[in-house]
Amino acid sequence: MSLSIVLFEPEIPQNTGNIARTCAATGVKLYLVEPLGFSLEDKYLKRAGLDYWPMVDLDVLKSWDEVESLLDKENFFLVSKFAERTYTEIAYPDDSILVFGSESRGLPDYIKEKYKERLIRIPMRSSARSLNLSNAVAIMAYEVLRQHGFPGLARAFQEDV
C-alpha cells in the first residue's frame, strides 16, 4: 500500500510542518507543488515538523504539470469543500493520491474542473469557511490507511526495533 499527499502551493509553514510530521508517522509520501509560501528552511516549518524531518519522504515539484506527468492521475482524489461526495463514500485504491489546495485559495478551478469526478469533501457546518489544512490531511490520510488495515503501523505502542 502506498499513499501520497500532494499540497498544491501551500502557504503556511506550520501547516506543512504538521503535515510532514503526520506523513513521517504514517509512512505517507509528501509532495509539495511550487510556488511555496515559505522557504523549506523556515524555522516555523522545522519547529512544526520537530525531529521527524529525516523520516519524511518529500519531493518538491515545480508545477501542476509535473504532478500530472509524474503521478497516476487515475488515483487522484482532490479534497474541496465544493465537492458533492464525502470522503467516506470512496473505496480508496492501494496507491491513492490525495490532493489539497493552498490554505487561502484552495485548488484552482481548472484543476477542480478537470478532475470533477474525483472531488471529495470533509463534511462541516455551512457557516464554517474551512478546516485547517493539516487537520484535513490527517483526517483523509487516516481514512485511507484505515480502509487498508493501517499497513505498517504499530497496533499498540512499542519501541521500534
Binding annotation: 79, 101, 122, 130
In the chain, % helix, strand, coil (3-state, to 5) comes to 40, 15, 45
Q: Which residues contact 83 (CB under 8 A, 6 or more apart)?
A: 119, 120, 121
CA atoms within 13 A on the CB side of 119: 19
Residue list, annotated binding site for S-adenosyl-L-methionine: 79, 101, 122, 130
Distance CA 58, CA 41 (A): 14
